Structure 1
């Protein structure tokens, strides 16, 4: 009986070591690389000062139309979707 329990314990530990532990290390590495890549990428990308100056010259009627179309909600959504798509396609394991 002791041999059966010991065999079952070693089988369970082997499964944990082979599947769970390896996947945890792999996915943690991907998470760490991705978060560090995004931090580096945000320092390289330009800030929004050029967009502020570009939209500063718009007349009031254009701002009214952009507010009706929820431009302030839609543009950040589209830009973040494009950034997410870019990042996912650059990770070789996922994309």
Structure 2
């Protein structure tokens, strides 16, 4: 009887370790590699982007009549949201599994 109990225990341990290695560890390594690549990619892209000073100086040159309509349409709220959405879409499309 103890030999069959050992065989059952060995089989259960083998299945559990197989699940751990095939499912959890491989997925963890894969997603960590994806996270690291995307993280470093974002840092490189952020270093290449121009500073906000050029945008500020360009918007400062607008006359007050244009600012009236920009404020009326909510430009100060909408423009940063649209730029952030485009940047996020760009980053998400670069992830191999999702994009």
TM-score (norm 1): 0.87
Counterpart for residue 80 of structure 2: 76
CA distance in 1, matches of 2:74, 2:43: 29
> 5+ residue gaps in structure 1?
none
How many residues of Structure 1 are paired with residues of Structure 2 in the alignment?
A: 95
RMSD over equivalenced CA pairs, Å? 1.5
2:2 matches 1:10: no
> 5+ residue gaps in structure 2?
none
Q: Which has the higher contact order (CA 8 A, sep 6+)?
A: 2
Q: 1:52 aligns with which of 37, 43, 56?
A: 56
Task: Deviation per CA, 1:35-56: give whole Å up to 9, x if none.
Answer: 1110111111101111111110
Q: 1:27 aligns with which of 13, 25, 31?
A: 31
